Amino acid sequence: MNRSKIAGPRKQKRIPGRIKNIDYKDPKQLRRFVTERGKIVPGRISGASARCQRRLAKAIKQARHVGLLPFTEEAYK
């Protein structure tokens, strides 16, 4: 059976904390989506939709390459 006939269309989740623009140049906001060990928090835990999670992951990776966010857990301590 088709899901839309049973329960209706899915609602898009918003990024927690009302981040309007996901930008790699704002490490303060991106740190909320990174664990103490430096791993990117999955979307099912952060509450971000698939599209927002892809944008977050891309922004976090860009910030790491530029040097705004660390790669390893040592810098988070």
Residues 20-76, CATH architecture: Irregular (4.10)
> What are the extents of the domains in the chain?
20-76
pLDDT at 44 over 70: yes
Least confident stretch, 10-19, 29-38, 55-64:
10-19
Whole-number pLDDT of residue 21: 85
Question: 57-66 burial string, b = 16+ CB within 10 Å, else e?
Answer: bebbeebbee
Whole-number pLDDT of residue 18: 61
Least confident stretch, 7-16, 17-26, 36-45, 64-73:
7-16
pLDDT at 17 over 70: no
Q: Which residues contact 75 (CB under 8 A, 6 or more apart)?
A: 38
Cβ distance 43 to 49 under 8 Å? Answer: yes
